[in-house]
Amino acid sequence: MSLSLRSWQDQAINKALNWYSSENQSNNKFLINAAPGAGKTICASVIAKKLLDNGNIKRVIVIAPRREVVRQWKDEFKVVTGRTMLVVVGKNDDQGLDVCATWNSVDDQKDLFQTICETDNTLVICDEHHHAAVKAAWGESADSAFSKAKYVLILTGTPIRSDGERPVWFQYSGGEITHPKDGQFTLTYGEAVDLKYCRPAFFHRHEGKFTVVLKDENDPIFVSGTTGIEIDEKKHTKKFIGAIQKSCDFYTLARSPKYKKDGKTPDLNSYQASMLEWGISKLEDIK
């Protein structure tokens, strides 16, 4: 079938194929770091098809984070390549097909993956690769299962893990990936938005105000998300003021569900209820 590819996909495909075909190339891993929603699945499927058509590989293995993503891969891969993928869930023998599975299943299916990579020239596509930290079970399993792969295509939109751990096959220095420049292609979120591949994300502020009445106190304490806590310092000691500020922290109040006297029924006049109502109204406007 004929596909209309985006400019960045064309560039990434050509760069990946050049990397894989270059002489004396000891590093068989190509990295595509592109914003979520930019079209990495189609891009990777086209790379696989070209390698298959050229006779560089015979099999493809796709590893994705969740079962629903695995199913999406199976469908899109079939559209692009015309080939059927076997979704690996439990223990499976090698049936000669391309296969796709979750990261969670890599350890259980390690023998199967090793057999495929050793028997046939295989392209391994690792989707959302940042899930496989070097020190975690997934990273260790991947390093072992795919050590004999002909090529590895690494896909991610968030290569830097929030816990600071390094995904397997990545090299970092100063918080940046040091994988060879010729062996990677990056499309930033900002670029994807400018090119209208992705929509911009907006985080709206929902102002909240609380009135806190303390036991044995006549005057309430007012708490706001913008002005903080209003306390009459003449009436309270510094020690007591500190305790009030800690218990009346805006974030603490905002995230604490408020119920009616039965302790089960949500108070629809609470901050959280107003935030949900405002959010629902905003979504309706966007629709």
pLDDT single digits (tens) 212-260: 776 666 667 777 767 667 666 666 555 566 666 666 777 777 777 888 8
Measured CA to CA, the distance from residue 187 to residue 221 in angstroms comes to 49
Highest mean pLDDT among 62-76, 82-96, 118-132, 231-245: 62-76
Q: Where are the domains of the chain?
A: 7-194, 209-286
pLDDT in tens, 120-135: 999 999 887 665 544 4
What was the pLDDT predicted at 243?
A: 64
CA 164 vs. chain centroid, Å, equals: 15
Average pLDDT over residues 128-155: 71
Between β-strands 228-230 and 221-224, what pairing exists: parallel, antiparallel or unpaired?
antiparallel
Q: CATH number of 7-194: 3.40.50.10810, 3.20.20.70, 3.50.50.60, 1.10.760.10?
A: 3.40.50.10810
Separation of CA 14 from chain center: 25
Q: Which of 54-63, 98-107, 182-191 has the highest mean pLDDT?
A: 54-63
Give pLDDT, residue 168: 63
Pull the structure tokens for residue 60: 């493809």
Please say whether the dihedral angle defined by the alpha carbons of residues 270, 271, 275 and 281, taken in this order, is positive or negative: positive
**Rounded CA gap, 1 and 10, in Å?**
16
What CA–CA distance (Å, rounded) separates 214 from 244?
A: 9
Q: Is the entire prediction scored with pTM above 0.85?
A: no
Per-residue model confidence (pLDDT) at position 134: 45
**Distance separating alpha carbons of residues 193 and 206, to the nearest angstrom:** 25
| Percent of residues, the chain, with pLDDT higher than 70 | 75
How many whole angstroms separate alpha carbon 111 and alpha carbon 214?
A: 64
* pLDDT top residue among 99 and 92: 99
Contacts of 62 (CB under 8 A, 6+ apart): 70, 73, 77, 85, 98, 99, 100, 101, 124, 125, 127
- CB atoms inside a 10 Å sphere around CB 92: 16
